[in-house]
Structure 1
């Protein structure tokens, strides 16, 4: 099975680190011209340098934009007016008690995790429809299905990703543009490492050991009993971005290590 994206331009939001950077790497490996997007120039430059070193000859471009705002989305669109593949990966998370999260933090999560993808999809889907081909992918989470009690605001936004993705797939029926969501479980990224830093310091475990312990204790239904690696998540996104996924749309595809204990989804 050859995943060939050599004639395609892919925009990946939140792609300077973590899952977003992993997806960008996978798309570049498949031959796509990949647009790295981040809030800070140093982050964008660093990500491009990292990928260029790992993938000599990769076709990479960068845009600095804060996609949590309408103005930031406009900046990206002005720099990259069209795309064949859009990966709505940008997202933030934390573990806070419901009663300590104020309104402004709820709105910030919604702007970052939901509206960024809505705004980008609203623009790029139109040019995809005009050419009769396109791929839109929302990076949701298993937390959007099984909302954790200590990350309710995050889980709600990830549920919204699933709703937007499924509805937009219906809206684009018959156009040649597919829309899907992927649902990662806990994944070994710098974000997870930072979230668990205090626990690792107290336990004496390495950061990776603490991440795997977090999965076993906080997500005990996990079948793999560990945090996933970024590449394991990125592989699914690259397949969905490829021409080979043409009959998959309106789907929520799990790459959660079996955390969600159900026969469907």
Structure 2
């Protein structure tokens, strides 16, 4: 299968590192003009320059904005008025006991993980529907189905993304616009590395080994029995954004290594 996204404008939120960077790289390699987003202008520009060097001839631009606020989303929309592909990847995560998560923390997760995608979809989908072609992807998580006891606030936000994506897919019924959610499992992202860095350095283990131990201890239902790479998640997203994926919509597509025990 040859995926060609030439002529398509793609915005990947929170794409200066981790899964977002892998998705942006995959879309750019497929020919899309990719808008890199992050909170800090310097980091965004460095990422654009890095990918231009890595992907000779790739079309890239940067747009810095903090999507945890309505003002940040508005600033991004002003800088980038229209796109054909929107990947709502911006999000935060971290374990915390339920009784220690106050209202402000619940609100922070809701605004960052859910409302960032709601605001951008509300704007960009209108143009997609007018042009009768578009792709919207929410990067959810297997935690949206398999709610972790130590990250209930996170799992809730990921379930909400799946619901929004399904509803938007129905809203676009009969058009050339598709909306899906992609559900990674444990992934060797920069966020995961930050979370376990102290343990890796103290025990002298690689991130891959720490990742495997995490999977076996906390996601023992995993069938691949290891942590996934960001590229493995990005491969699914690039396909969902392709012309070839025109009959895939309203789906919650798992890239979780089989963690969720269902058929």
**TM-score normalised by the chain length of structure 1:** 0.97
Note the aligned Cα RMSD (angstroms).
0.9
Number of the residue aligned with 1:9: 9
Provide the rounded CA distance (Å) in 1 between the counterparts of 2:137 and 2:166: 11
Question: Aligned pair 1:42/2:42, yes or no?
Answer: yes
Residue 196 of structure 1: SS of its match in structure 2?
helix
Deviation at 1:87, TM superposition (A): 0.2
Number of the residue aligned with 2:80: 80
Structure 2, unaligned runs of 5 or more: none
Aligned counterparts, 1:105-254, within 5 A: 105-254=105-254
**TM-score normalised by the chain length of structure 2:** 0.98
Residue 183 of structure 2: SS of its match in structure 1?
strand
Deviation at 1:194, TM superposition (A): 1.2
Number of the residue aligned with 1:63: 63
Deviation at 1:53, TM superposition (A): 1.6
Deviation at 1:139, TM superposition (A): 0.3
Aligned length: 263
Residue 56 of structure 1: SS of its match in structure 2?
coil
Provide the rounded CA distance (Å) in 1 between the counterparts of 2:96 and 2:42: 29
Residue 6 of structure 2: SS of its match in structure 1?
coil
Q: Could you report, residue by residue, the CA deviation over 1:219-265 in whole angstroms, capped at 9, with x for unpaired residues?
A: 000111111011100000000001000001000000001110100xx
Residue 37 of structure 1: SS of its match in structure 2?
strand
Aligned partners of 1:193 and 1:208 also within 8 Å:
no
Residue 222 of structure 2: SS of its match in structure 1?
coil
Provide the rounded CA distance (Å) in 2 between the counterparts of 1:124 and 1:258: 33
Deviation at 1:197, TM superposition (A): 2.3
Provide the rounded CA distance (Å) in 1 between the counterparts of 2:253 and 2:190: 24
Provide the rounded CA distance (Å) in 2 between the counterparts of 1:81 and 1:5: 19
Residue 186 of structure 1: SS of its match in structure 2?
coil
Aligned partners of 1:16 and 1:43 also within 8 Å:
yes
Greater mean deviation of Cα atoms: 253-262 or 192-201: 192-201
Deviation at 1:131, TM superposition (A): 0.3
Number of the residue aligned with 1:100: 100
Number of the residue aligned with 1:54: 54
Provide the rounded CA distance (Å) in 2 between the counterparts of 1:46 and 1:99: 40
Aligned partners of 1:13 and 1:87 also within 8 Å:
yes
Q: Could you report, residue by residue, the CA deviation over 1:121-177 in whole angstroms, capped at 9, with x for unpaired residues?
A: 000000000000000000000000000111111100000000000011001111211
Runs of 4+ in 1 over 2 A off after TM superposition: 197-204
